[in-house]
Amino acid sequence: MKRIFCVVLLSLLLNGNAIAKKLTSYDDLDLTSKPKKVLSKNDTESLWNAYKEAPKCFEHPTYGKGIGYKLKKISKNKFKKNAWTSPFYKYEENNKHEIYLPLTFPKPIITVNLDEEYGKRHSDADSAIEFFQKAAYVVRVGNTFFGENEKVKAVILDWASNNALKEGINVSWGSKPVDYQMMVLINAILTTTATIAENFNDKERQIVGPWLQNLIKEVSKSKWKDRQDNKAYQTAYITLIWGLMVNDLNAVQNSINTVKLAVHDMRPDGSFPIDTQRGGMGIDYNNKSYGYLLMMASILKDKTRQDLFYYSVDGRSLHNGADFVIKSIIEPSKINSIYAISCPDGGDRFGSIENPSTYFIEIATNTMVYANKFPEYENSDFIMSKYSETFNNKYKKNIKSEPSELFTLHPLLISK
């Protein structure tokens, strides 16, 4: 019997199915070991070089299929018993200022009617995103004695009570992942909730918790053709915020594994092989990919003191990713032309290979988080100077730190 047990155990270990270590604290998180599903050396190089043979973006063998994550269900009773905690650092009281919410609040969007043509937006969703961006800012930096926090909570409770976004958030193609814009909206709601997480009492958590959980579940299980996709990193980012807020360490570990796999898939120059293919939007999508990975590692370092910036594969790490993004900002046409190929349905609408979209340069404020964390980095002064007016700008009357579509708040209000 003992011999049979040993054989079974060895088989489980060899097949990567051994019982996972139980996670009970941040110290149990695994930031160092090689994650599952790492590509072979040959497949990794084929992934890096796929752009050389593909007639158009995505038209090549898949190296590293898209991966979804099954979120652990939390019972209503546990939402009642367990308080939430904000994943974000404590904001300095002396930097807070008087600011108010808009006079009108968004009504819950129950059913979404998506226009799935590339680049199309849902106008009501955009209005809601704009509101939650401002709401998150108000509760993050506003003086609490003005009562705005309670108004924000009331909006979130209203959306939860009406089961907002219950239909229509998934696209109809592939494995039917959640639409990009819908993920932006869900993240905006989650970020706003997480900013005042400790303010929700047990009854409120029983209303908001199950509703948000269902939305995050749809996001976390979403997957695309390739695992190297900025939207895949977007789902991992959202899952991380949720996991830290509700103390679901398995969700946190899954996001950590996503970052580690991304480092394995990243080229030595810090570029991401699928997103950089995408024609006139190659460096834009690459910036999105790196932005989510950077922010996940930064938030983890702030909240848990666990440092993913040390994770490296054959000398490449998240630091290489910063180098490539900065080069893209300085010389967009030259850098985009390295890997971009024809991409009529996924990038060429907003630019060309030689003249790529440079909108991302205006909003790459997430690079400030990297520069702030690594002031010795050779480009840190350049970054902080370029984007200095976007954060805590005393000359702006209302919102002094520009919001971010990717992260809702200005990235330096999330991690620093």
* pLDDT over 80 at 306, yes or no: yes
The predicted pLDDT at position 10 comes to: 45
Q: What is the pTM of this model?
A: 0.94
Q: How far is CA 240 from the centre of its chain?
A: 8
* pLDDT over 60 at 1, yes or no: no
* pLDDT over 70 at 135, yes or no: yes
Q: Pick the more confident residue, 269 or 120.
A: 269
How do residues 15-34 score in pLDDT, each as one tens digit? 433 345 799 999 999 999 99
The predicted pLDDT at position 6 comes to: 44
Please, what are the domains in the chain? 32-413 (1.50.10.100)
Q: What's the whole-number average pLDDT of the chain?
A: 94
How do residues 246-263 score in pLDDT, each as one tens digit? 999 999 999 999 999 999
Virtual torsion, Cα 150, 156, 159, 161, nearest 10 deg: -70
How do residues 363-409 score in pLDDT, each as one tens digit? 999 999 999 999 999 999 999 999 999 999 989 988 999 999 999 99
The predicted pLDDT at position 146 comes to: 76
* pLDDT over 50 at 155, yes or no: yes
The predicted pLDDT at position 119 comes to: 85
The predicted pLDDT at position 371 comes to: 97
The mean per-residue pLDDT over the stretch 271-284 comes to 97
The mean per-residue pLDDT over the stretch 323-334 comes to 98
* pLDDT over 70 at 188, yes or no: yes
The predicted pLDDT at position 145 comes to: 73
The 3-class SS string of the chain reads: CHHHHHHHHHHHHHCCCCCCCCCCCHHHCCCCCCCCCCCCHHHHHHHHHHHHHCCCCCCCCCCCECCCCCCCCCCHHHHHHCCCCCCCCCCCHHHCECCCCCCCCCCCCCECCCCCCCCCCCHHHHHHHHHHHHHHHHHHHECHHHCHHHHHHHHHHHHHHCCCCCECCECCCCCCCECHHHHHHHHHHHHHHHHCHHHCCHHHHHHHHHHHHHHHHHHHCCCCCECCCHHHHHHHHHHHHHHHHHCCHHHHHHHHHHHHHHHHHCCCCCCCCCHHHEHHHHHHHHHHHHHHHHHHHHHHHHHHCCCHHHCCECCECHHHHHHHHHHHHHCHHHHHHHHCECCCCCCHHHCCCCCCCCHHHHHCCCHHHHHHHCCCCCCHHHHHHHCHHHCCCCCCCCCCCCCECCCECCHHHCCC
* pLDDT over 90 at 225, yes or no: yes
Q: What are the φ and ψ backbone dihedral angles of 278, each rounded to 5 degrees?
A: -80, 60
The predicted pLDDT at position 20 comes to: 58
